[in-house]
A and B are shown apart, each in its own frame.
Chain A
Amino acid sequence: MRDVIVIGAGAGGPVVAKELAAKGLDVLVLEAGPRRADPRSEWTSYENDANNPLTGFLRFGPADRSKPAWFRETPQNSFLWQVSGVGGTTQHYFGNSPRAYPGVFEGYEGRDKSRYDVDHLFPFSYEEMLPYFQRVEDTTPISTAAMGPNEALFLKGCETTGLPVQTQRTTTGPAYRPQENAILQPGGHAGRTRDENLLVYPEATGCTMCGHCFQGCMRPARAPRNKFAKRSTDNSYMPMALTADVWAEGGKPVDLITDAFVMQIHTEEVGGETTATGVTWRDGASGDIHREDAKVVVMSAGCTENPRLWFNSGLPNPNDWVGRGYTDHYFDWVVGVFDEDTGASRGVGSGARLDFPPHGAIMQVGIPPAIASFAATFSDSGIRGHYGNGRGGTGPWDGDAGRFVGPELKELMGNGIDRLMFILVMTDDDVEAQNRATLSALPGDEHGAVSKVEFHHRNRSGRTRNNREALVRKAVEVQRGAGARKVFRLDWPPLILHVQSSMRMGRSAENSVLDPTGEARWVKRLFIADNSAMSNCAGGPNPTLTSQALSTRTAEKLYTKYFDGDPFVGHDDLVVSTDDRISKRLQELDL
């Protein structure tokens, strides 16, 4: 019998695992995908090899790349982007780590109070969240992003908006700034040379501005795993969890089993209450089925797989909110064409942003050409110049919104990837019951019925739609301010990768799955700690920091409730994930 079993090693799971390992609990982490112990031998920096959602080494699928990806049904024009393996989708992520807006928490009294998703607030105050934000920020660690040409250009555009510069971590109103990033900033030769012989640790430290954040960070070359520039959890929290005995007094390293797909959560009736007792998983290589029991089970399988696991386990759903209220920031994409170097293919995924509460946020994005072309052909507004699919609207951007196809696409890309600037629109979208993860009617796979993710994007709330339009206009303004010769709007259908709130924590038992401590309302000793536990979409800011802060809080809550522990956040010595003791221990363990 374990103390705690954590299901999934993405953004949330490793945070819980690390915190509880530090307290000496016996923690088992089960991850459906692989752990890449030596990325240099398995990865490349090529887009299709890395990111093809069907075949890439970063995909939602089994460790064995000759097998197909795991299928999910998306019954609409949309794209769901999730990654399996230790690090989960943070292997893809860009490390942007803004805090959720204060307006999405209970007790907020700002003048714009009524303009947030007031029916679905976090069931505690921003002030209560603050120490958890800070703990994640200091552990990861998070710092102010360096600029490359792309950031410099975007910030120049922001300067023309008349908005102020934000110089603190809490967002109190519309403002622009460099990102606070989960990236070690460039040191030594990093960022100063293209010579790969010089871009080697320790002569180069931190971000080498290689432009491959999406393809997974394994830089600088020869750096210890916990000193790779990008702080995806395979580089930050998971190494800590695996070495907890060397950096925490009384710490106990977690057991990690990969290629282990959890298929069922077991429950028993204890004292008249349904209570989680353990899990069953399937080993991907052998197909063997294993079962293990625990005092507490933590689901961290993400917004799409948690509901599936819940339903496949036959767990209760009395208010019908399991899987509902899924938010995705209703992204949009605004492309600017420039006559000068934008550096879009070099540097971090994003180093600068403009927060625009209560509408959401926009940020500049740097990416290589395959994903740029994908982004330019993805639209809910048909094909530019041919049909609008019932939308295709005009506005301050040039021409119709819509996808680029044919000679237009070739011309756009032919400007050169480094003559384009991309702005991502991240909408503060409402929690709506209609947007959800449920089970597909299609035949299941080896792990049972598969997920179906439904977004009714043409039927979103008025507030969501208006927010998005306000942000798109702001993005166009920034592009023009930066000097764009042409500005295009794509009108994306759902690109589901900022995922939130499908198993939401809430004040009201009417519209939430988790109580305000993160425990399932109808299953005791079952907690959820990842993006799905979020009460709402955070207001538009990239969700991971908020999800990890919430996971830290949940770890503390379950520790005090079921293991008689004391609250620890703010009371213990903080250890940074780059600590030398962790590097040394990883090496000894050959991890």
Chain B
Amino acid sequence: MEDPMIARRSFLARIGLLGLASSGLASGILSAGPATAAPLDLGVLRQLLQTLSLDTYKGLAAFVVPGDDAYSHAQGTADGTPGAIAAKAPQFLMDSLDDFVGLPDTTVRYATQALATGLAGSNVDVPGLSLLPGQVLALDNALTKLLATDETIPLSLPVAGLLNLVATQVNPASVNGLFVSPFARLSFADKAKAFEMIETTESGLVAKLDVNLPEPLAETVSGVLKFVAGAVIEFTAWGTYSEYAAFDPKSKTLDGRPVGWKLAHYDHRAEGYDSFRGYYQGRKKVSHA
């Protein structure tokens, strides 16, 4: 039997939360001292999770359209031109997922809880964890409480959680290192492997999520997560090559030429072009038979 404490610690590490909580970025939020499990402020935890999600989507953005940013460098595909991060795709994804997917709140909660319990046991040896048991417990209790009590769980959270969990399966060493998100620490090829694990039915990974869910939601939740995990790739591309980053929704105007338009050499005109090339074989009308 796996020690439940180790399993929880491994889970928290794998989604990236443990690393973040013990990093300089979050200094002082976990009380020091070995055995104390002083309750953790949920507001602080929410912020940590937000930071973690954003970092995960930066890793994803660089994967879909690399650029000259740190994340593209880290995955080994940087080039000299801007990419999805410069086009603000990470923010685009977070906003879209959290505010506009009309997924029922309970579903997101189920998905997140399923992630937090269903996959926790999958044994991955995570190296170099420095946090002490009391602190792990405080963090874990806070997360459990948040998932049970928060009115809305942002959808970006379970999706990021899934990417990070899978990332540590692909490469356990990704629990530590640069950035906050294990997914963001992967090489380009390993990120592709992570998507393979999510997408390929045979791996059955996502199906494990259903284990603790009540019928008839079981298949539904994994289905939805699977759909969203695929859709985030298309959405990242969409956000990058659209006007999003340069668009001011209030005035409905652009404050410059969008990055994606430059990348795709798109010459946008609202009203029309001089593209008329006549009629094929001069025929303006066919028989109505």
Using CB atoms and an 8 Å cutoff, list the residues of chain A in contact with chain B: 44-49, 52, 54-55, 61, 68-71, 73-79, 134, 137, 143-144, 146-149, 151-152, 155, 165-170, 177-178, 180, 185-186, 190-194, 196, 199, 204, 208-212, 219-221, 343, 345-347, 352, 368-374, 376-378, 382-383, 386-387, 389-390, 403, 405-407, 409-410, 413-414, 416-419, 440-445
Contacts and interface: CB of A to CB of B under 8 A. Distances in A.
Given A75-B220, A165-B281, A168-B289, A46 B269 contact: no
A60 to B, nearest CB: 9
Interface in B90-106: 96, 99-104, 106
A170 B213 CA distance: 54
B272 A390 contact: no
B280 A377 contact: no
Nearest to B240: A373
23 contacts: A48-B243, A49-B247, A79-B231, A79-B234, A147-B277, A168-B289, A170-B289, A186-B276, A190-B272, A194-B269, A194-B272, A196-B271, A220-B272, A369-B261, A369-B264, A370-B238, A370-B242, A377-B237, A405-B233, A406-B66, A409-B237, A442-B104, A442-B220
Contacts of B226: 76-77
Contacts of A382: 195-196, 199-200
A445 B279 contact: no
A409 B188 CA distance: 13
Given A169-B287, A178-B283, A378-B234, 11 more contacts: A46-B243, A144-B286, A147-B280, A194-B273, A199-B271, A199-B272, A204-B272, A368-B268, A369-B264, A377-B233, A377-B234
Contacts of B254: 46
Given A55-B100, A442-B104, A143 B285 contact: yes
A45 B102 contact: no
A69 B270 contact: no
Contacts of B265: 414, 416-419
B183 interface: no
Contacts of A186: 276
A386 B192 contact: yes
Contacts of B270: 44-45, 196, 210, 212
B252 to A, nearest CB: 5
Given A373-B240, A406-B63, A442-B220, A77 B281 contact: no
B277 A68 contact: no
Interface in B72-129: 77, 79, 81, 83, 96, 99-104, 106-107
Interface of B: 63-66, 77, 79, 81, 83, 96, 99-104, 106-107, 188-189, 192-193, 195-196, 199-202, 216-217, 219-220, 223-224, 226-227, 230-231, 233-244, 247, 249, 252, 254, 260-261, 263-281, 283-289
A169 B288 contact: yes
Nearest to B289: A168
A378 B236 CA distance: 12
B155 to A, nearest CB: 10
A77 B229 CA distance: 9
Nearest to B195: A383
A358 B249 CA distance: 47
Given A219-B272, A418-B265, A370 B260 contact: yes
Contact of A208 (B65, B220, B227, B272): B272
Contacts of B252: 44, 49
A387 B288 contact: no
A191 B273 CA distance: 6
A407 B66 contact: yes
B241 A147 contact: no
Contact of B264 (A75, A134, A372): A372
Pick the most buried of B200, B202, B269, B281: most chain A CB atoms within 10 A of its CB. B269
A210 B271 contact: yes
A417 B223 CA distance: 34
A47 B286 contact: no
B169 to A, nearest CB: 15
A387 B202 CA distance: 13
A147 B279 CA distance: 6
A309 to B, nearest CB: 18
A220 B231 CA distance: 35
B200 A387 contact: yes
B277 A221 contact: no
A571 B269 CA distance: 45
Contact of B217 (A372, A413, A442): A442
10 closest A-B pairs by beta carbon, nearest first, are A208-B272, A191-B276, A75-B223, A370-B242, A54-B100, A416-B265, A71-B102, A48-B242, A386-B192, A68-B102
Given A79-B231, A221-B271, A68 B99 contact: yes
B224 A75 contact: yes
B276 to A, nearest CB: 3
Contacts of B107: 442-443
Contacts of A178: 279-280, 283
A406 B196 contact: no
A137 B288 contact: yes
A178 B268 CA distance: 25
B16 to A, nearest CB: 22
A377 B107 CA distance: 27
Nearest to A370: B242
A442 B289 CA distance: 49
Given A73-B224, A169-B289, A177 B269 contact: no
Contact of A147 (B238, B247, B278): B278
Given A45-B268, A369-B241, A369-B264, A167 B274 contact: no
A97 B244 CA distance: 32
Nearest to A347: B275
Contact of A192 (B193, B199, B274): B274
Nearest to B281: A165
Contacts of A45: 268, 270
B241 A373 contact: yes
B220 A440 contact: yes
B233 A403 contact: yes
Contact of B269 (A196, A371, A445): A196
Contacts of A352: 280
Given A372-B241, A410-B83, A443-B107, A134 B288 contact: yes
Nearest to A414: B263
B96 A52 contact: yes
Nearest to B284: A144
A417 B99 contact: no
Nearest to A133: B288
A387 B203 CA distance: 13
Contacts of B264: 369, 372-373, 413-414, 416-417
Contacts of A74: 227
A148 B66 contact: no
Contacts of A78: 227
Contact of A144 (B234, B240, B277, B285): B285
A71 B270 CA distance: 31
Contacts of B216: 441
B106 to A, nearest CB: 5
A389 B196 contact: yes
Contacts of B64: 377, 405-406, 409
A464 to B, nearest CB: 20
Contacts of B217: 441-442
A321 B286 CA distance: 39
A223 B266 CA distance: 27
A410 B102 contact: no
A82 B236 CA distance: 21
Contacts of A44: 252, 270
